[in-house]
Structure 1
């Protein structure tokens, strides 16, 4: 077994009644924001907090009221700035962050995917794209219109990770 995976062998697991959905987990620096939604409950948030505590990360619960997942309503542009639909998620949970609000007529515009220095955005949200570009971010747009019909967003269709030797 690899060195990394053997180190995690004895870590607790999340078990029912605890539930957690990946779309409700947003990592920004050493902070892990976890949405309390229809798919993630308080027990799941508490279980994740117990698991990651030894790694020096802090779990911050966030109420999700208007969308399926946390990352539908908020994602990070960088470690100090979030893109948010405050009608769908509790903006107060992001104290200390600069908050960029999506336009009211593009409520799903906050679901972006940052890869390196490029912000990938759904081309269906031109106002949000222009707003993010105006802040100096490099933006690349993609057409995910067919996936949106099934309530998918860029964060739902990705598994970003970093491997270090």
Structure 2
């Protein structure tokens, strides 16, 4: 596809487990409701299909409360899956559990061999670059060991420092076209996006920055009308989705699918 950073033929998702109530979170604002989460997730899958993706849905994995956030243990570039090493101890086994599905659905699977850590939520891909933000979940050793794999797949790895108050690099940034990033004002002015156009989220709507571009559509979380209006005025097709339950366990739109082309 011409724009490999946002044009996808397929997506891989995993249903939320009822154990998601035990999911990791930086701040406790209550537990997600598994039934409400399942409804939000179903709407998310429907949106992916409406955007033109064939969506393969894996069963819930009760052993891993955060396993609905399927993007963190793997990175997909050009149809090749790289099995990562998540930085939270409770999520270390997710990569191995995901491996059979990756072997079935991807063109190739490569294991990241490292003593370090890399979370998929810290990786933002353009058509030719992989921007990796160091964070509490992704360290320099993991980034250094990922570099030769990424370069072998035709991308340049750019290592950045995520501000310490941000969980994941993509918590406050997303790619909305081949040359444009949506980011919070704090991250937009950090120098992370040199050479790219940056649209800043509206005042008071920082959480809107965790969006995803899927073919012609930009998926945006509900509750951020000013940012939605800004994007629509700039010519983007915006699809609003409820992510209230995911947000209770520090999840968002980007982490609930692996998007790729075959």
C-alpha separation between the residues in 1 aligned to 2:146 and 2:185? 24
| TM-score (norm: length of structure 2) | 0.56
Query: Which one of the candidate residues 135, 143, 167 is aligned to 1:68?
Result: 167
CA contact (8 A) 1:64 1:89 kept: no
CA contact (8 A) 2:232 2:238 kept: yes
8 A Cα contact 1:34 1:59, kept in partner: yes
Structure 1 residues 70 and 89, CA gap change in structure 2 (3 angstroms): farther
Residue 97 of structure 1 corresponds to 196
State the structure with bigger RCO (CA 8 A, min sep 6), 1 or 2. 2
**1:152 Cα offset (Å):** 1.1
Q: Report if the CA contact (8 A) 2:188-2:200 is conserved.
A: no
Which string of whole-angstrom CA distances, capped at 9 and with x for unpartnered residues, describes residues 58-106 of structure 1?
0111211131111111111111110011424764121111110112301
* 1:8-157 pair list within 5 angstroms: 13-16=112-115, 18-65=116-163, 66-88=165-187, 91-157=190-256
SS in 2 for 1:87: helix
Equivalent pair of 1:28/1:76 in contact (CA under 8 Å): yes
Aligned counterparts of 1:161 and 1:90: Cα–Cα separation in 2: 30
In structure 1, runs of 5+ residues without a counterpart are: none
> What is the TM-score when the length of structure 1 is the normalising length?
0.87
Cα distance in structure 2, aligned partners of 1:86 and 1:43: 29
- The number of residues matched between the two structures is 158
Q: Alignment RMSD, CA only?
A: 2.0
8 Å contact from structure 2 (residues 124, 170) kept in 1: yes
Q: Which consecutive unaligned segments of at least 5 residues does structure 2 have? A: 1-102
Q: Output one character per residue of 1:26-63: Cα deviation in whole Å (capped at 9) or x when no partner.
A: 11111000010100001111111121212221011121
